[in-house]
Structure formats: C-alpha cells, structure tokens
Structure 1
C-alpha cells in the first residue's frame, strides 16, 4: 500500500514521482514496464535512432492508414525509465502561447504555465523573462556544430525567412538552432534530471519490469493497479490516488482495460463497464512529417560520428558529432496569411533519415522537412482484445481532412524552395526519392507515399472531455491522467517540454489537495479534542 501509485515512468511520471516524494510524509510507488535506463546508447545523444525497435521501444505502428495508401506508420515509444524522453531527439520546444490559451481550460493558459517551464529549467543561457536557472532539467545549446545544418539556416534566410535565436522566447517564427535537453553533451531526460536525484528517498519506490494490466476501481474509486512483474501477478494498492502517466497510447488503453471508455467498445471485448466515457481514446493527434532527403559527397554527415578524432573530442570536451541529437536546427513558418501562429515546424538533421528513421543511412545526406503542427484530422486508440499485453489498435487517420493535405503541399513547396538556395548547394547534389514534379497532384502523391509520424501523439484523454482541469478522470474518484494525452490540442513544437510542465503543475494540484486534506484532518482533530 502506497499513498500514490504512478503508472508509467516516462517524461511525466518521473517528474511527478520526484515532486510528490519531496514530502517525506507520503509514500510514492512509480511503475515502469521497461528496464532501468542504464544502456550507454540512451545517454549518448547520437545513439537515439539506434534504440528504435529494440527492447527499449514499445515498437508500435498504426493500423492501415486509409489516406496514406493503406501504409502502416511506425510509432516508437520509450519502454524504459524516462520513457520516450530516453529515446527522443532532445529538442526543447515549449509550444506557442496560442496553444495553451487555446485550450481554454482554467489554470492552463500560457501565463499560467510559464512559471512551471521556468521552474524545471536550468538553462545555459541564464535567467530571463522567458527562461529559468537552477531547475533539474538541463537545457543547453547544441554542441554538434555541423556545417550542413548551419547551411540550412542560412538557406532559409536566403529564401526570405528571418533568423530566430530563441524559439521559446517572445516570437516563434523564423529559423535557427534548437536548444536541447543535454548536460555536458549527454542526454538529460526526466529520469536523469528529476528521478535520479530522488532515488535514495525512503518514501519512493520504483518498480521496473512491471506491466500494468488495469486500474482497480472499487465503489467508484481508484484503489490500485494489477499487473505482472517478471510474469508474476502483482497488485499494488493506493491509499490516496492512482495516476496514469503512460502516454497518449497506453493511458487510454489502460482506462479501456479498466472498464472506463465507450460502453459499446468495452462490451465488444467482454469488459465490464465501470464508466461509459465516450472520449477515452478519441481525439488522437500527431505531427506528420514530410521527409526531404538530399544526398551529397561532403564528409560531414553523422556517418563520420564514430571516427577516432570525433570519439576523442567527445571524451575530452563533450562536443562534436557524438552529441548530435538529430534535428539540430529548424524553423517555424506559416503556410498562409492570416494565421495566428506558425502551422509548420521544419526539422533539419545532418543524416539520411529515411523510412521513419528505420533505414540505415548509407551515404552522406541532410534531411529536413515540414512537420505539420495544427492537424485537423483526428484518430483513435482502441483495443484489439481484452488481453492486457496486446498492442492497442492505433489509427491516426493522417490527412483525413483534405485541408491538412493542402497545407502539407504548401509546406513541402517551402522546403523545396529552401533546398534550392545557394547556401545548401554543397549539400544538395541529389534528392533521395524525390516527387515526380512540384505540381499539386505529384506533391499530394509524394506526401501520401512518404509522410510519416514525427512521434508526437497527444489528446486521447483530453481535458474537458475525459479529465477535468485538475486532470481528474471525470466520473471516477482518486484517478488522474498526467501526460500528453490530456492536451486538448497538440502544441506547436516537440511536446516533451510541455509534458514536463504539465507534470510540474499536476504535482502542485495533487499537493494542494493533499495540503487541504491535512488541514481538514487537523481541524477534525481539534473539534474532537474540544
């Protein structure tokens, strides 16, 4: 029995466990399906893509996507302490003010969340109106210093776009280098930043290799979780709350397995209905990326990362290609006039990134392309059976809305125009798998053939639909969801930073309730004594 049981030690779960266990009077149990984050590949930034489809990856795929030629799209998710923050590309982008204000949830506007972003940060640039120092999370300048990605930024300015030195500052539009969640050239996930320093606390228990099966709901209240650890059945009970931090695919799956979801779907799988909640697993969103890969003969791509001189430089200085996070630079643009904020993020990496990153690079290349930030299309996460270890059925329904495809065509044209600029000439000797032409018809076909996920799922337990503004599951007591699934709409950018802020705020929401409960208990004791 613990006060709080947290399911999922990913980006949000590690933050929440660390923050809640700061109070020595409560006990916290953090559960993770995967192993500890001890693999060297995790902490060496350039190794991110080598973890795809390993034991550290849930290795999901969509079911057939009807608007992508019935392709199945690869969806990596971290199955390890730190979750997807232990296998991602470490880009630190919060999102745009209009994202958070657009949620229209009390306490979740940009001005409400900015203090939580700053609370987490230990930013290499120092404290300012937009940045914090002294927090657990190292936010640093990239140390790869690759000439091809620097040339991409220069090409964007030659194409008429402005530079932007801080995408988390006053304005998001423009092109420049990303900041990354690294410390001294090593990955800084929320496992290393938040959880690691808390592991010695006697009131914090971390269980790895625990596969959660369902939340126990007794008399309308979450009472614990059942699952297996090393194939042995285990039940762990919660005196105060159960918190799902399993991510945009697994949190709704666990709710469904627990009897919380659309009654008709639950009945199909023979699951007893605890709560008919139609919104569970719906509203799934993602950023689709259109890959533009240009090959060249310059020996500067990440194929050179393991050369002896680069290994020596990394060991001595923590710099060079081995610190490369993948998309080192990028930019934010608008596909049309009149938009309130950018609807496209460009991501540029000094490597051949083909087939969702699953095809091993075999030549020098630079890869960049538009990530579509504001999709109108919505997908779903549903069950294939009541078997808890069965992977969920994921259907993103990319480009179901025709206007999403229209925007992607315009964004692809912007990318191709940047590719023609003189700064990129040394790195654009040929295009790998190019479109047949730049006509609307051929670009649409190109997008359907090659667009893929850039691994930013969200929205499946949305505030206002599945959870309230304090992230409590509507209709069930003592149960919350704290991860990217609670976002009503995706943020404009890589959502890891926003997920950290969500967890920071959730810790305050939970602790605020806890402090109120203790005050009430003290008052009752006083009344009893009186």
Structure 2
C-alpha cells in the first residue's frame, strides 16, 4: 500500500515521483512497463534513432490513415524509464504563450505555467526572465553544430527569414539552433534529471518491467492497479490516488481497459462499464511532418559520427558529432499573413531520414522539412481487444481537415525555397524521392505520400472533457491523468518541455502546495 501509485515512469511520472517524495511522510510507487534506462544509446544523443523498434520502444503504428493513401505511420514511444524523454531528439521548446492561454482552463495560462518551466530548468545560458537555473533538467546549447545545420540557417536568412537565437525567449518566430535537454553533452532525460537522484529515498519505490493492465475501481474510487511481470499478476494499492502518466496513447487505453470510456465499445469487448465516458481517447492531435531529403558527396553527415576521433571527443570532452540530437536547427514561420503566431516549425538534420527514420541512411545527406503546429484534424485512440497486451488502435486522421493539407503545401514551398538558396547548394546535389513538380497537385500528392509523425501525440484525456482543471478524472474518485493527453490543444513546438511543466504543476495540485505565483509576460507579448 502506498499513498500514490504513478503508472508510467516517463517524463511526467519521473517529475511527479521526485516532487511528491520531497515530503518524507508521503509514499509513492512508480510502475513502469519497461526496463531501466541502461541502454548506452539512450545517453549518447546521436544514438537515439537506433532505439526505434527495440526493447525500449512501444513500437506503435497508426491504423490505415485515410488522408495518407491508407499508409500506416510509425509512432515510437519510450517503453523504458524516462519514457519518450529517453528516446526523443531532446529539443527543448516550450511552445507559444497563446497555446496555453487558448486552453481556457483556470490556472493553466502561460503566466501560470512559466514559473513551473523555470523551476525545472538548469539552463547553461544562466538565469533570466526567460530561463531558470538550479532545476533538475539540463538545458543547454547544441554542441554539435554540423556545417549543414549552419548552412541551413544561412539559407533561411538568404530566403528572407529572420534569425532567432532563443525560441523560448521574447519571440518564437525566426530560425536558429535549438536548445536541447543535455548536460555536458549527454542526454538529460526525465529519469536522469528527476528520478535517479532521488531513488535512494525510503518513501519512493520503483517497479520496473511491470506492465499495468487496469486500474482497480471500487465503489467509484480508484484504489490501485493490477499488472503483470513475468507472468505473475501483481496488485499495487493506492491509499490516496492513482495517477496515470502513461502518455497520450496508453493513458486512454488504460482507462478503457478499466471500464472508463465509451460504453458501446466497452460492451462490445465484454469490458464491464465503470463510467460511460465517450470522450476518452478522442481529440488526438499530432504535428505532421513533411520532409525533404537531399544527398551529396561531403562526408560530414551523421554517418561519420562514429569515427574514432568523434568517439574520443565525446568521451573526453562531451562534444562533437555524437552530441548531435539530429534536428539541430530549425525555425518557426507563419505561412499566412495575419496569423497570431507561427503555424509551422522547420527542422533540419545532417543525415538522411527516410521512412520515418526506419530506413538506414545510404548516403551523406541533409533532411529538412516542416511540421504543422496548429492542426485542425483530430484522431482517436480506441481498443481493438480486451487483452491489455494488445496494442491500442490509433488513427491520427492526418489531413482529415483540408486546411491542414493547404498548410502542408505552403510549408513545402517554403522548404523548397530554402533548399534552393546558395548556402545549401553544396548539400542539395541530388533530391532523394522529391515531389514530381512544384504544382499544387504534385505537392499535395507528395505530402500525402511522405508525411510522417513528429511523435507529439496529445489530447486524448483533455482538460474540460475527460479531466478537470486539477487533472482529476471526472466521475471517478482518486484518479488523475498527468501527461500530454490532458492538453486540450497541441502546443506550437516540441511537446516534452510542456509535459514536464504540466507535471511540475500537477505535483503541487496533488500535494496541496500553493501554486507558484503567475509571472507577467509583457515582454513575451511584445
């Protein structure tokens, strides 16, 4: 029996466990389906793509996507301590202040959350109105800075776009290097930052390799979870609350397996209905990415990152190609005049990224492309089986709203313009699987054929729909959800930093600690 049982040792779960156990009188058990984060490629930044479809990845795919010619899209998600923060590209972007204000939830505006962003941060740029120091999470400038990334930024400038050296500063628009979740050139995941330093606490228990199958609900209250490890059923009881921190795919799956979801679907699968809640699993959102790939003769891509001199530099200095997070540089752009904030995020990586990163690079190359920051399309997560080990049925419905495809085409035109400038000429010798032409029809066809996920699922247990503004599941006592699924709408940028801030605030909500004071953002608004 514990006070709190946290399901999921990922970005949110690690933060919650660390913060809640600051009170020595509170006991917490973290239940993680995957193993400990001991795989070397987790901690060597350039090795993250080698983690896909391994034992530390849930290895999900979408179901047939109607807007992508029936293709299925690869969806990696961390099944390991640290969750997806242990296998992602480490980009630290909070999003735009308008994102959080648009949620319309009391206590969740950007001014309310900025203090939580700063509390988690240990930014090597030092303390300022926009950055925090002394927090658990390492945030640093990129140490790799491949010549192709620098050329990409020069190309964006040549195409007329402004520079921006801080996407978490006064303004989001413009191009520059991303800050990354690294410390001394190594990954700073939620596990290494928040959980490992406190695992010695006697009031904290970690149960790894234990996959939760359902939440126990007795008399309308969550009282624990049931899981399996090595064929053995294990029950973990919660005196106060069960907190689902399993992510935008697995949290709704667990709710439905526990009888909380659409009654018609649950009944068809012979799952006893605890609460008819048709919105569980709905409202799924993601940033669709449309990449362009160009090959060239220069032996400077990440294919060369494993050279002995690079390994030596990484081991001795924490610098060099092995510190690359992949998409080192990028930018935020408004593809239409009159938009209140950027609607596209550009990313570039000094490597060939083909087939959602699942195909081995066959040549030195540069990949650049844009992800759609404000999609109107909505998908869903549902069950295909009552077996808890079966993967959830995921449909993102990319381009279900025609306006999203319009945005993708505008973004493609900008990407092609940047690729055609002089600074990138040495690295764009041969287009790899390019659009047939720049006609509207061919660019639309290219987007449908090549779009992939940016691996940012959110929204499936949204505030105001499934959970309230304190992240409590409406209709069930003692049960909360704390992860990306609670976002009503997706943020403009990579979603890991917002998830950590959500968990920081949730820890105060759960413990009853006073909320951090709101911080004025007049400079940001200006």
Tell me the TM-score normalized by structure 1. 0.96
Instruction: Indicate the residue corresponding to 1:525 in structure 2.
Output: none
Aligned-partner SS, 1:67 = helix
- What does residue 376 of structure 1 align with? 376
1:178-220: per-residue Cα shift (whole Å, max 9, x none)? Answer: 0000001100001000001110000000000001010000111
Q: Alignment partner of 1:291: what SS?
A: strand
Alignment of 1:13-32 (within 5 A): 13-32=13-32
Could you tell me how far apart the structure 1 residues matched to 2:286 and 2:319 are? 32
> In the alignment, what sits opposite 1:409?
409
For residue 166 of structure 2, what is the aligned residue in structure 1? 166
Corresponding residue number in structure 2 for 1:268: 268
Structure 2 Cα separation of the partners of residues 221 and 344 of structure 1: 42
Indicate the residue corresponding to 1:130 in structure 2.
130
Task: Give runs of aligned pairs for residues 271-310 of structure 1, distance below 5 A.
Answer: 271-310=271-310
Q: Is the CA contact (8 Å cut-off) linking 2:11 and 2:82 kept in structure 1?
A: yes
1:5 aligns with 2:17: no
Residues in 2 aligned to 1:269 and 1:355: alpha-carbon distance in whole angstroms: 34
Q: Distance in 2 between matches of 1:293 and 1:487?
A: 32
Match of residue 391 from structure 1: 391
Please say if 1:439 is aligned against 2:439.
yes
**What count of residue pairs does the alignment treat as equivalent?**
515
The 5 A counterparts of 1:213-228 are: 213-228=213-228
Q: Which residue of 2 aligns with 1:509?
A: 509
SS in 1 for 2:196: helix
**Alpha-carbon distance in 1 for matches of 2:69, 2:379:** 16
Secondary structure at the counterpart of residue 348 of structure 2: strand
Partner residue, 2:51: 51
Decide whether the 8 Å contact of 2:508 with 2:514 is kept in 1.
Answer: no
Structure-2 residue corresponding to 1:107: 107
* CA distance in structure 2 between the aligned counterparts of 1:130 and 1:381, rounded to whole angstroms: 36
Counterpart-to-counterpart distance in 2, 1:60 and 1:362 = 25
Contact kept? 2:282, 2:380, Cα under 8 Å: yes
C-alpha deviation, 1:513, in angstroms = 7.1
2:64 alignment partner in structure 1: 64
Q: Tell me the secondary structure at the aligned position of residue 480 of structure 2.
A: strand
State the alpha-carbon separation in 2 of the partners of residues 130 and 268 from structure 1: 50
Unaligned runs of 5+ in 1: 516-530
Structure 1 segment 83-98 matched on structure 2, within 5 A: 83-98=83-98
Name the structure 2 match of 1:522. Answer: none
Secondary structure class of the residue paired with 1:416: helix
Q: SS of the counterpart of 2:399?
A: coil
The residue number in structure 2 matching 1:151 is 151
Alpha carbons of structure 1 residues 102 and 134: separation in structure 2 relative to 1, 3 Å: same
1:457 alignment partner, SS class: coil
- 5+ residue gaps, structure 2, are 516-526
Alignment partner, residue 465 of structure 1: 465
1:231 CA displacement: 1.7
Within 5 Å, give how 1:201-240 maps onto structure 2.
Answer: 201-240=201-240
In the alignment, the residues of structure 2 paired with residue 349 and residue 334 of structure 1 have an alpha-carbon distance, to the nearest angstrom, of: 21
Q: Report deviation, 1:145.
A: 2.1
| 1:122-148 Cα deviation digits (max 9, x unpaired) | 000000001000000010011112100
Structure 1 consecutive aligned stretches of length 4 or more whose deviation exceeds 2 Å: none
Residue matched to 1:328: 328
TM-score of the superposed pair, with normalisation by structure 2: 0.97
Q: Secondary structure at the residue paired with 1:280?
A: coil
Instruction: Please state how far the C-alpha of 1:514 moved relative to its aligned partner.
Output: 11
2:253 maps to what in 1? Answer: 253
Q: What's 1:365 paired with?
A: 365
Give the secondary structure class of the aligned counterpart of 2:68: coil
Q: 1:290 aligns to what SS in structure 2?
A: strand
What does the per-residue CA deviation read over 1:327-375, in whole Å, with 9 as the maximum and x for residues that have no partner? 0000000110111100000011000001000000010001010000111
CA shift at 1:265, angstroms?
1.1
Q: For residues 16-65 of structure 1, give each alpha carbon's deviation from its aligned partner in whole angstroms, at most 9, with x where no partner exists.
A: 01110111001000000000001111000000000000000000000000
Counterparts of 2:264 and 2:400 in 1: how far apart (Å)? 24
Structure-2 residue corresponding to 1:488: 488
CA distance in structure 2 between the aligned counterparts of 1:467 and 1:365, rounded to whole angstroms: 45
Task: Tell whether the 8 Å contact from 2:257 to 2:386 is kept in structure 1 after alignment.
Answer: yes
1:448 aligns with 2:414: no
Q: CA deviation at 1:464?
A: 0.3
Distance 1:282 1:157 in 2: 40
Distance (Å, rounded) in 1 between the aligned partners of 2:231 and 2:369? 43
1:528 paired residue number: none
SS at match of 1:41: helix
2:519 maps to which residue?
none
Once residues 190 and 329 of structure 1 are traced to their aligned partners in structure 2, the CA distance between those partners, rounded to angstroms, is: 22
In the alignment, which residue of structure 2 is the partner of 1:519?
none
Supply the distance in 2 between the matched residues of 1:316 and 1:236 (Cα, whole angstroms).
44
